[in-house]
Amino acid sequence: MRSRYSNLERPGLDEAGLREALCSPRGPFSRLDLLEATGSTNTDLAGHATEEPAAWPDLSVLTAEEQTAGRGRMERTWTAPERSSLIVSVLLRPHNSEGRPLPTQSYAWMSLLAALALSESIEERTEISPQLKWPNDVHVDGRKLAGVLAQLVPGANGEPPAVVVGTGVNVSLTDQELPVPTATSLLLEYAATTDRNVLLKAYLRRLEAHYREFTAVDGDASRPWRDGTSLLTRVSARMATLGQDVQADLPNG
């Protein structure tokens, strides 16, 4: 069993370096802000998107070193020790290449689009090959590595709604720190790297590339991208639950 890491052994995110690599003029993202601690990056970013829409355009990023009131599906809480995880939310205001808003029914694919980008970027950087579990989890050999939660943000003054896509990845959690026995972390999977700066850049770059492809086909998951694949075929190739019976528990029981 691995020993517990201290905060000193968990380096912080490099906000200036991330901005330089990912944000305009060198990168495609509009802005990137880092918080030392917050209740929920999704809640914070949704609030910014509503209250200051001009200051938080498409592809704005909010990340944090620690999250104390993260939220998963069915209002489940998600917390982790400081600097042990990737905690990041991205604001999407989807329009196609001609400037038309995407149909709102396409928004249902945003969490899977992010989960796909996350799993591919992790494989690229760590040599681990995560799989998707419907509807929005990323697993390694049946153990949960990450979760994705997409949240709709109503538009103001006749504008179409936006989407905040939040992602939480267990990076350096030890056995003793796992929230449940069925979870895992990149550290416990012997990943080639647990450098969160490397992992965050890889994820955001892959997410932006897939987002551009998806918006270019008007949010149609079955239409081919430039390489001949589609969001549907890519997701299907990584979906571990295809062909299995699943149980869906609704909030009312």
Rounded CA gap, 207 and 86, in Å? 15
The residue-averaged pLDDT of 156-182 equals 92
9-28: pLDDT as tens digits: 789 999 999 999 999 999 99
Rounded CA gap, 225 and 18, in Å? 28
Name the pTM for this structure.
Answer: 0.91
Q: Are 34 and 14 in contact (CB under 8 A)?
A: no
DSSP string of 195-215, one letter each residue:
-HHHHHHHHHHHHHHHHHHHH
Around 132, how many Cα atoms within 13 Å sit in the side-chain half-sphere? 23
The residue-averaged pLDDT of 170-194 equals 94
Rounded CA gap, 146 and 107, in Å? 20
Coil, helix or strand at residue 43:
helix
194-222: pLDDT as tens digits: 999 999 999 999 999 999 999 999 999 99
Q: Which domains does the chain have, with CATH numbers?
A: 13-238 (3.30.930.10)
Rounded CA gap, 136 and 157, in Å? 31
pLDDT band at 251 (very low <50, low <70, confident <90, very high): confident
pLDDT value for 78 = 56
* Rounded alpha-carbon distances, angstroms, from residue 72 to 138, 190, 219, 239: 13, 26, 24, 20
pLDDT value for 75 = 52
Which residue is listed with tokens 């991330």? Answer: 18
